[in-house]
Structure 1
C-alpha cells in the first residue's frame, strides 16, 4: 500500500498501527492526522528507536495489503479477491459463489 492510502483513511488504520506499535496512543494518533513525518517522529519518541529503524519498520508495514475494512470499492474488492487466491486451496475458484454452502438462517427442520 502507499502512504496516501493510510493518510486518506487515517483513523481506520489505528488498530493496525497499534498492533504494529503497541506504544502508540489513539489520542496522539488523532493529533498526527495522517502526517507521515509527524508519525515517524512520534514513533521515534514513543519507541525509543532510531529514526532509520522506524523508517525501515514503516516501509515493511506498508508492504502489506490495505485492510479490507479500510477501502471498500468494487475495483479494490476485485483486486483483493484476486490476491486472496494464495489462500485458496488448489482446485477452488476464489471468485466462485458460496451459495452452495447454504444460508445459516435457512435451517432444515
Structure 2
C-alpha cells in the first residue's frame, strides 16, 4: 500500500475555490483502479492550527505505486491542475510506505 499526504497551500482567500474543484474531481479519482482513500482535510476546530486558513491536506491511500502513478498521469487530474494552478501558492507531496 502507498500512502500520500499532499499539503496544498492556496493563495490568500482561495482555499474554498480550490476545494470546490477538488470535490468535483473526487468521484473520478475514487473510480480509479487502486484508490482506497482520497479525501481533503483542514485544521480541526478547537485545536491549535498547524496549517492555517489557506492550507488543506489531501489524505490518499493507493493499492500500488503503479496505481498512484496512473492517477498522477490521468486526464482528470491534468484538468483539475489546470483549473486550480493560478490559485495555488505551494504544494508538497509526501509519498510514504507503511513502516510496519
TM-score range, shorter chain: 0.3 to 0.5
Normalized per residue, the structure richer in helix is 1
Is the strand fraction higher in 1 or 2? Answer: 2
Return the index of the structure with the highest Cα Rg.
Answer: 1
Bigger relative CO (Cα 8 Å, ≥ 6 apart): 2
TM-score, normalising length from structure 2? 0.32
